[in-house]
Amino acid sequence: MELKNKQILVIGAGIMGAGIVQIAAQSGHSVLLFDQKEGAAEQAIENIKKIFASLIKKEKLTETNAQDTLSRIQTITTINQASQVKLVIEAIIEKLDIKRTLFKELESIVAKDCVLATNTSSISVTAIANGLQNPERLVGMHFFNPVPLMKLVEVVSGLQTSSEVASDIYDLSTHWGKTPVHAKSTPGFIVNRIARPFYAEALALIQEQVSSIQVIDACIKSVGFRMGPFELMDLIGHDTNFAVTSSVFEAFFYDRRFTPSIVQKELVDGGLLGRKSGRGFYDYAEGAITPKLPEFHPSPLNNTRTVIIHGDNHLTAYFSNQLHQLEVPFTQEKESAWLGLEVDGFQLRQTDGQTATSLGSHVAVFDVCLQDQNKTVIAWAIAENSSTEWAQEAPSWLHHLGFKPIRIQDSPALIVARTLAMLINEACDAVTQGVCSKDATNQAMKLGVNYPAGPFEWLDKWRSTQVLQIINQLDLNYKGERYRSSPLLQRLNLL
Ligand code: NAI
């Protein structure tokens, strides 16, 4: 059924409901708004007026446009007044029994062809539909906060949702200027599930004291993320972030892949919730000092060494270009089993998941870099019993090749490789399980959490063999279920 320009009812006038009302009215719908709390709906409209006033000031909206839009919004005092609507979007409290009761009540008010959508972020759409007379018309319409700015809508189908209803909501979202993606109702849907390792790996690294929060954030940002995991968790709020992780963990029957972190739980228990409480991983008090990244003083370049480039990909092409510019003579072993540089028998290898310690005292490992390398902060590590000369020289080579090297404790897959491999692995699992397509995954992660690229776009740049190797090394190292490789990643590796 065509939903464009039809009358809509939004239930729940909180942060999400108000945003949904705004964009629906701006797209030309007549919108009814109901909230059980007295005055909440009116307050939401006041807030929309304030947003419009600021948009008018910035000349992004005309006065007439704002008035027209506001004239299409009407508050109601009982949902019985909404019998004619063709779509209901529910954005009330996140409680299964309350949502179920509301939808059952709605079925006795609206017509049979009225679509029922829920903005739930964590409850099974299948479960919300349980007990409805027409469960096929209930669908998830998962917006992201702030609704007017965030482009993504996850259109979530429960077991009984009809494909027609899901496709109507998909089309409507497009009409509203959003980018919808289809998802199957599974814990965390797409974004909240695939993003878990972004936080989990950073928290594990800090728990193992591999490096500092500043260094981990800097390394992750060096591959294009707008915020590092600690900055982002502080922004989201540790209570919220921990609750989402815990709910996904529980919903997957305590699959250890999703185990929450005691580091984060301590922060929650201590009320150190992030920006909103003034302190989380970082201190937001006025005048608080953020520690600087460690400085590295490189040794001068020694171009009398025997230098060999190992491997053949975009990184070694970059190395060879840089060495030419530095006038360092070198040879290349394109068929080598590892990627990096050999200098007089000492190795500087891009991590494949093995620790430097396990490779030997003549080896230093450095992290994966997918961006334009120049001036990229990059983590590197070396065995504790390595020679002091190589411990100074290895990062000096990284420096001369155009990186900003930062030493971290030796650990499998360092920082970026570990995080990206786990994000890719989780995305592969979601696709394996039919939760979403590869394209939907890429779109969802770029638009829902501002990732610089989608997991399958990273995979295109990075060979699946390398990703699988990293996951397998993590698995070997930690021996648990958390780092088990996805069947899809294994299959891609065989192609
Ligand atoms: P909120 O707490 O800001 O607003 C909820 C509103 O619903 C309140 O005004 C409350 O009075 C009203 N309400 C509660 N029970 C009601 C009922 N039975 N009938 C009518 N009104 C009722 O919550 P928020 O953040 O807007 O979230 C709403 C829904 O959207 C939840 O399901 C949440 O999980 C989901 N969501 C939230 C996101 C967020 O970032 N806040 C993102 C995506 C989804």
Query: What are the pLDDT digits (tens) for 207-217?
Result: 999 999 999 99
pTM given for the model: 0.94
| Residue 153 confidence (pLDDT) above 70 | yes
pLDDT at 372 over 70: no
Q: What are the φ and ψ backbone dihedral angles of 274, each rounded to 5 degrees?
A: 115, -150
| Residue 371, pLDDT above cutoff 80 | no
Q: Is 154 a catalytic residue?
A: yes
Question: Which atom of ligand 1 approaches the CA of 40 most closely?
Answer: 9
How many whole angstroms from 92 Cα to the centroid of ligand 1?
A: 4
Which atom from ligand 1 is nearest to the alpha carbon of 92?
Answer: 7
pLDDT, mean of residues 102-112: 97
Look at 90-104, 128-142, 153-167, 359-373 and tell me which has the smallest mean pLDDT. Answer: 359-373
Write out the CATH class of domain 197-277: mainly alpha
- Is 35 a pocket residue for ligand 1 (Cβ < 6 Å)? yes
Atom of ligand 1 lying closest to residue 44 CA: 9
Residue 202: predicted pLDDT: 98
- Protein residue with least CA distance to atom 44, ligand 1: 121
Specify the pLDDT at position 132.
98
**Across-strand partners of 363?**
347
pLDDT digits (tens, 9 = 90+) for 423-445: 999 999 999 999 999 999 999 99
Q: Does residue 2 carry a pLDDT above 90?
A: no
CATH class of 307-407: alpha beta
Question: Average model confidence (pLDDT) for the chain?
Answer: 95
Give, using CA atoms, the residue closest to atom 30 of ligand 1: 91
Q: How many residues does the chain have?
A: 495
Q: Pick the catalytic residue from 173, 185, 192, 247.
A: 192
pLDDT of 495 over the 90 cut: no
Q: How far is the CA of 433 from the centre of ligand 1 (A)?
A: 29
- Of 90, 124, 142, 485, the active-site residue reads 142
CATH code of the domain made up of 8-185:
3.40.50.720
Query: Of 27, 29, 90, 121, which one is the catalytic site residue?
Result: 121
**Pairwise CA distance, residues 149 & 127, whole Å:** 29
Distance from Cα 253 to the centre of ligand 1, integer Å:
26
Q: What is the whole-number distance in angstroms between the Cα of residue 94 and the centre of ligand 1?
A: 7
Give mean pLDDT, residues 217-231.
Answer: 96
What Cα–Cα distance (Å) separates residue 44 from each residue in 24, 30, 151, 417?
A: 14, 16, 21, 44
SS (H, E, C) the chain: CCCCCCCEEEECCCHHHHHHHHHHHHCCCCEEEECCCCCHHHHHHHHHHHHHHHHHHCCCCCHHHHHHHHHCEEECCCHHHHCCCCEEEECCCCCHHHHHHHHHHHHCCCCCCCEEEECCCCCCHHHHHCCCCCHHHEEEEEECCCCCCCCEEEEEECCCCCHHHHHHHHHHHHHCCCEEEEEECCCCCCHHHHCHHHHHHHHHHHHCCCCCHHHHHHHHHCCCCCCCHHHHHHHHCHHHHHHHHHHHHHHCCCCHHHCCCHHHHHHHHCCCCEHHHCECCCECCCCCCCCCCCCCCCCCCCCCCCEEEECCCHHHHHHHHHHHHCCCCEEEECCCCCCEEEECCEEEEECCCCCHHHHCCCEEEECCCCCCCCCCEEEEEECCCCCHHHHHHHHHHHHHCCCEEEECCCCCCCCHHHHHHHHHHHHHHHHHCCCCCHHHHHHHHHHHCCCCCCHHHHHHHCCHHHHHHHHHHHHHHHCCCCCCCCHHHHHHHHC
Of the candidates 1, 39, 40, the residue with the CA atom closest to the CA atom of residue 17: 40
CA distance 327 to 324: 5
95 lines ligand 1 (CB under 6 A): no
pLDDT of residue 373: 65
The CATH 1.10.1040.50 portion of the chain extends over 197-277
Confidence of residue 63 (pLDDT cuts 50, 70, 90): very high
Q: From 11, 37, 92, give the residue whose CB has the most ligand 1 atoms within 8 Å, as the site to mutate.
A: 92
Instruction: Identify the residue whose C-alpha is closest to ligand 1 atom 13.
Output: 92
- Chain segment 262-296, per-residue pLDDT in tens: 999 999 999 999 999 999 999 999 999 888 999 99
Sign of CA pseudo-dihedral 214, 217, 223, 227: negative
Ligand 1 centre and the CA of 35: distance in Å? 10
- Residue intervals in the chain for CATH 3.40.50.720: 8-185
pLDDT of the residue at 1: 66
